[in-house]
Structure 1
Amino acid sequence: MQNQVPKSFSRLPGNTKEASVGYFDFIRICAHTVSPPENPLGSQENLLPASEGAEEGEERSVEDDGELNEEEVAKCLHNLGPSATGLEYMYRSLSAPGRNLTDISILCSYIHLQKLELPYNKIKDLSCVSHMPYLLILDVSHNEISDFFGFHPPKNLKEVNFSYNQVSEMKVLSAYFSLEKLNVDHNSIREIRGLEKCARLRYLSLAHNRISRITGLGNLPLKELCLRGNFLRKVENMDTIWTLQTLDLSSNKIQSLAGLQNLQLLGSLNLEGNMVSEIKEATHIHDMPLLSELNLLRNPVQEQADYRLALIFLLQQLRTLDQQEVSAVNKYDPPPEVTAARDHMMHLVHQLRQPQVIFDSTLPSLDAPYPMLVLTGPQACGKRELAHRLCRDFNDFFAYGTCHTTRSPYFGEEDGSDYHFVSEEVFQDMILEGKFIQTMRYGEHWYGLSREAIESVAREGLACCVHMELEGVRSLKLTYFEPRYILLLPMDREGYGQRLRRRGLYSQAQINFALSRVDEYVKVNKEKPGFFDNFIPCDSTMEAYKALGQVVREYLGLEEQEETDCSSAVPENTSVGDSLTDGRSKGTQPAQGADQTDPTEDLRGSGLPTEKAGAALGGIEREKSWSLHYTQPLNRVSLTAPGSIGQQTLRDCASSSSVVPATGDGPPDLNEENSLQETPARSGRSSPQGMGVGLNMDALDIPGQVHNSDRLIGTQDPDHAPQTPQPSSPGGMTESASARPGSNAKPILPPIPSGRKATTRPK
């Protein structure tokens, strides 16, 4: 049989050397749109692919001999259009899937084919492709081909599919310079070779072969590479494929991700079914800015705790992990906790880059955090006014910590008193210099608490009182400071809104935002018990300050000291040991984990009068009982400071606790004359109970001090306590020669040590 179509078929738009149609013939054919052109092979159905119109006998004949004939070709041709030269119209595509074809030599005459699809047949010979110089796409998957590219190369061939065949070896494809996509899945190839000259190859798939090493890729401009289901144990020789965007290495035996570092354009990485067992392997792909999809299913690494969270933390650019979407909330809409954590890390890193010094707020014991008081609440709830008034009335204990802001001052605000008003450029420079502890952005302006604001207060020996919004509280809770947090919240939303309008400083949008913030504070207070230490309604400023003063007096232990003063008188026939026994009989025990040192042993031998010793011992017992209920940072220091403390310090503490009166209606009324007579050195030697401060730390560096820590441990049986004063140690402490500025004017809080400022230190 000759490989030509019959003459009756030559008038149709064909694809053989003879079957072509001129321009005028094509116009004539297109004019008869109602009645299709004559079909010499029968009815119109014969022009379509094999369908219901085909006869059973013809179908059976094709299946028996497996040879493609002219009738079948006529059924499989489609896509009528201009030829590659543009001078003729003809069928450009042929598709004959699933026909059990073994002989397709008839296609040698169809030189104008641009797309040839022959999947799911039994073809072994592709020599007919050598006669198709215009062929662009070739699909011969699911056949029995063993010869890789067994034909002369069409110069424009772009896509080839050899999957599911019997190819065992790759040949050099230097002549296929136009090849862009090559699929050789499910063959028996053991080595990648012959692709070095394919300068346009974008897609390469060698899945389910027998490849054990990645070689032969050279400088290919690949964008997609699939090596799924091979015998790979490591990633290698991929440094030069920098254009790769999608890589599939699933179902191999890879244990490490080393070798992927230079793939900076990689966006999708599939490692399902490998042997990756360590999360740290993700560090090899940490610097890939475009990696958005990662699949590590069926790897041992998934058995590790917090595997998914750890990977998301290391690879924050991921959008899909293990075929599940990763929420982009951490980058585009971060929750408040994430924002606070980033703020804290930023300031910590910038601060560590600065020269390190010992801060004035650093206390000598880890159990003694620097005391701070934080007032928080929504905008214009009165927290700044309450903080100023509190620091004015309790000026023996608190000083106001002035924050920085980038907004302009409101009417009546003073720079340096209410805020430090700076430009945004100065504010950002301060961040880079590590000067802030926490910052937050509210509206269009920045607010921040600087370390100097705290240190300036600590240098005066006072506790710092600041105010801030909820975002600042979240950030401050991540630092080593452990303040008391008091929530000021307006309960009357309508009255709060009217208060904002009367100020005339805010737009309606700002007022609505401030009102919505009330709900956020309520939600946090409800869902996180203990997040705030106290809650005070602030609809009335006077009532709010009255409640605030009561809370602060409880923190400071001023009411406890007032009770101590009232009950300081001890009957003449009652000894110090009896008072101690009565105090202990109440069953109060120190908080679990607190310092177990018993300062009463030193008070018995301090030589104090009976009345004052009894009052001091009673105050100590009440302090122990009070600390069971208030274990927050402001009162975590026991009366016995860490280290070795002599009897003189205890004597000062006992005497000072009986001369610091307090009233329930206002700040303590200090008697300077009496207190100075009772306490010769005031630099941190005495402090009210409850703030977490009990003794003077200056004594730690005073010459002549005897370090006798064994004597401070309360190991004696309370039932056999000595009834008579014991002589003081011959090496008792002397008074401090140098005190901090202002220490001679008022009892300071907390006991910030000044001994470190001494020029000489005793041996």
Structure 2
Amino acid sequence: MRDSKGWDGKLRVGQQATIADPDADAMEESDHSDHDHDHAAPAEDAEPVEPNESDEDLLEDEEADTDEIDLVHCRIKSIPALRLERFPKLERLGLRQNRITRINMPSSVAANLTELDLYDNLIAHVKGLDDFRNLASLDLSFNKIKHIKNISHLVGLTDLYFVQNKISKIEGLEGLVKLRNLELGANRIREIENLDTLSSLEELWLGKNKITEMKNLGHLSNLRLISIQSNRLTSLSGLSSLKSLEELYVSHNAITDLSGLESNTKLRVLDFTNNQVSKLEHLSHLTDLEELWASNNQLSSFEEVERELKDKKNLQTVYFEGNPLQKKGPAVYRNKVRLAIPHIMQIDATYVRVS
């Protein structure tokens, strides 16, 4: 399980919001900042076939009919220098943690690719994607991108990642009607906007931005998961149209109460860790709830815990550590939670022993 620090960059999660790339935090502090200071991007008119640092052919041992190539941390600067046209059946290309500044792919290769992973490079401008007609997954996380543009023609995209860039506005996504997963965590976004055409969207990741309210989500009828941790939210308003919502992650904000979830009856996971909620209320209708993450708030009443949660038959996990109800009586805290919710299976990070 994650440690609930509010980071949701590079997420591949089940219902516990586990970070699938454990090095993401480290990259944010080390690799990426190193790139910012140590490597200057070349001018836009630089010679496109720049030799890579090593004269060796990184792909000389690769079978010509391979459908997947993964070159991680190989100091690659130039995509053309890889001579990818040798691999006519290539569908998935991973070039993570390199020094690529431009997306410059042979058109024959681009047309066949379904997955392109350029996580942690030095790309400042989204361009060069005109021929990627079959692309389903595009990862441009941990780069230097300021504007989302030149991707609206990628109508087959299902997964799009722009985590840890310098993006201040959600834009340029019109036409991506098949998009299911959009990750924009750790940018400079202040407003949720321009998502109306994303009718298939199921997961929206917006952690570590500067968003003050959840709005403009009404057209996203298939949205199943929202992560908006470490922002500037003060309430849970704006979710009333999201009847399919199952997972909501809003830790590390400034939320004071839990009203606003009246229409979200399918909610299974609710995480409001590290907020300013003082009363456990407005949850009685959430009969499908399985996990409640409420650590480090101002909750003080075991009576509220029992009233709101005792009848939740699917509830397995609760986190209340760091609240007054735990800090005032740590020795009896776990027993009191068990009395309030007899069927609970996990309290904080510890499983309940069945006697």
> TM-score, normalising length from structure 1?
0.34
User: Taking structure 1 as reference, are residues 279 and 56 closer, same or farther at Cα in structure 2, changes over 3 Å only?
Assistant: same
Q: Residue in 2 aligned with 1:276?
A: 299
Mapped pair 1:235 → 2:258: yes
Contact 1:177–1:197 at 8 Å: present in 2 too? yes
Mapped pair 1:248 → 2:271: yes
Q: Which amino acid aligns with 2:104?
A: N
User: Taking structure 1 as reference, are residues 144 and 53 closer, same or farther at Cα in structure 2, changes over 3 Å only?
Assistant: closer
Match of 2:212 among 176, 184, 190: 190
Give 5+ residue unaligned stretches, structure 2: 1-43, 50-61, 83-97
Match of 1:69 among 81, 84, 104: 104
Mapped pair 1:296 → 2:320: yes
Question: How many pairs does the alignment contain?
Answer: 277
Deviation at 1:52, TM superposition (A): 4.5
Q: Residue in 1 aligned with 2:332?
A: 306
Mapped pair 1:36 → 2:64: yes
Q: Which amino acid aligns with 1:321?
A: I
Mapped pair 1:224 → 2:259: no
1:47-105 Cα distance to aligned partner (Å, 9 max, x none): 6535648579989xx95x9333337x97xx7xxxxxxxxxxx82211011111110231
What is the alpha-carbon distance in structure 2 between the residues aligned to residue 209 and residue 195 of structure 1?
Answer: 17
Deviation at 1:125, TM superposition (A): 2.2
User: Taking structure 1 as reference, are residues 320 and 106 closer, same or farther at Cα in structure 2, changes over 3 Å only?
Assistant: same
Q: Residue in 1 aligned with 2:71?
A: 49
> TM-score, normalising length from structure 2?
0.71
Mapped pair 1:153 → 2:155: no
Contact 1:101–1:122 at 8 Å: present in 2 too? yes
Contact 1:257–1:285 at 8 Å: present in 2 too? no
1:415-468 Cα distance to aligned partner (Å, 9 max, x none): xxxxxxxxxxxxxxxxxxxxxxxxxxxxxxxxxxxxxxxxxxxxxxxxxxxxxx
User: Taking structure 1 as reference, are residues 56 and 114 closer, same or farther at Cα in structure 2, changes over 3 Å only?
Assistant: closer
Larger RCO (CA under 8 A, 6+ residues apart): 2
Mapped pair 1:168 → 2:194: no
1:364-409 Cα distance to aligned partner (Å, 9 max, x none): xxxxxxxxxxxxxxxxxxxxxxxxxxxxxxxxxxxxxxxxxxxxxx
1:726-757 Cα distance to aligned partner (Å, 9 max, x none): xxxxxxxxxxxxxxxxxxxxxxxxxxxxxxxx
Contact 1:109–1:131 at 8 Å: present in 2 too? no
Secondary structure (helix, strand or coil) at the match of 1:204 reads strand
Q: Residue in 1 aligned with 2:311?
A: 287
Structure with greater helix share of residues: 1
1:703-741 Cα distance to aligned partner (Å, 9 max, x none): xxxxxxxxxxxxxxxxxxxxxxxxxxxxxxxxxxxxxxx
Please show how residues 568-579 of structure 1 align to structure 2 within 5 Å: none
Q: Residue in 2 aligned with 1:394?
A: none
What is the alpha-carbon distance in structure 2 between the residues aligned to residue 49 and residue 243 of structure 1?
Answer: 41
What is the alpha-carbon distance in structure 2 between the residues aligned to residue 308 and residue 155 of structure 1?
Answer: 47
Please show how residues 328-367 of structure 1 align to structure 2 within 5 Å: 328-329=354-355
Q: Residue in 1 aligned with 2:162?
A: 140
Deviation at 1:288, TM superposition (A): 1.5
Q: Residue in 2 aligned with 1:559?
A: none
Deviation at 1:314, TM superposition (A): 1.4
Contact 2:255–2:277 at 8 Å: present in 1 too? yes
Match of 2:349 among 323, 330, 333: 323
Contact 2:153–2:175 at 8 Å: present in 1 too? no
Give 5+ residue unaligned stretches, structure 1: 7-33, 38-43, 78-88, 330-763
Secondary structure (helix, strand or coil) at the match of 1:128 reads coil
Match of 1:112 among 134, 138, 143: 134
Q: Which amino acid aligns with 2:273?
A: S
Counting aligned pairs with the same residue, the percent is 23
User: Taking structure 1 as reference, are residues 92 and 119 closer, same or farther at Cα in structure 2, changes over 3 Å only?
Assistant: same
Deviation at 1:177, TM superposition (A): 1.2
1:486-516 Cα distance to aligned partner (Å, 9 max, x none): xxxxxxxxxxxxxxxxxxxxxxxxxxxxxxx
The structure that has the greater radius of gyration is 1
Deviation at 1:36, TM superposition (A): 2.4
Secondary structure (helix, strand or coil) at the match of 1:301 reads helix
Q: Which amino acid aligns with 2:340?
A: L
What is the alpha-carbon distance in structure 2 between the residues aligned to residue 279 and residue 47 of structure 1?
Answer: 55
